[in-house]
Amino acid sequence: MVAAELLGRAGIGERGRAIPALLDALRLETPEHIYDDSVLLWWAEADRKFAKEGPEPFLRGRGSSADAVKRHRLKVAIIEALGKLHAREAVADLCAIVEDQREFYPVHSAACRALGLIGDPAALPTLERAANYPEANTKYRAADAIARIRTGLPASTAYPDRAG
């Protein structure tokens, strides 16, 4: 896992030091920071070209667009680490991510799953809204997180990932 490797390199191996470091990293990865105007314009252009050229515009990196993809993957890895650490300190940040419509769906989906692993009932209003999202992975993960929190199932890092 990328986030765990970064923490290991920084000498932050124990939970008490890992969570603040992960939260700091998560807070730096804002949509404005990851997806600047040039990236958003590139994605819009690639989306228009997709019907004509197939997936090729998405597969070849064009400057900052490739960096944005890497950075949103890093953000997903950070979110997953916070969920596996059952970091209640991250609930407000994760709820804000789910509510922010500027993120790509894998980020929303990962945040919903992490909230389910953490198990804090404070996340229920956000998860209930996310359970009505049109995007299938986010919708599934939100509904699953709601069920976990309401039934009191213990959060588990061995929890099966059925949402692709």
pTM above 0.75, yes or no: no
To the nearest 10 degrees (0 to 180), the angle between helices 105-118 and 91-99 is: 150
What pLDDT is stored for residue 110 in this prediction? Answer: 96
Residue-level pLDDT at 141 = 95
Residue 163 class from Cβ within 10 Å (0-12 exposed, 13-18 middle, 19+ buried)?
A: middle
Instruction: Average pLDDT across each block of 10 residues of the chain; the chain has 164 residues. List them in order.
Output: 49 66 81 51 54 50 56 87 94 95 86 96 97 92 94 57 45
Tell me the three state secondary structure of residue 19.
helix
Per-residue model confidence (pLDDT) at position 91: 97
Angle at 75 between CA 130 and CA 118, to 5 degrees: 55
Quick one: pLDDT at residue 52? Answer: 57
Q: Which two tokens stand for residue 64?
A: 């900052």
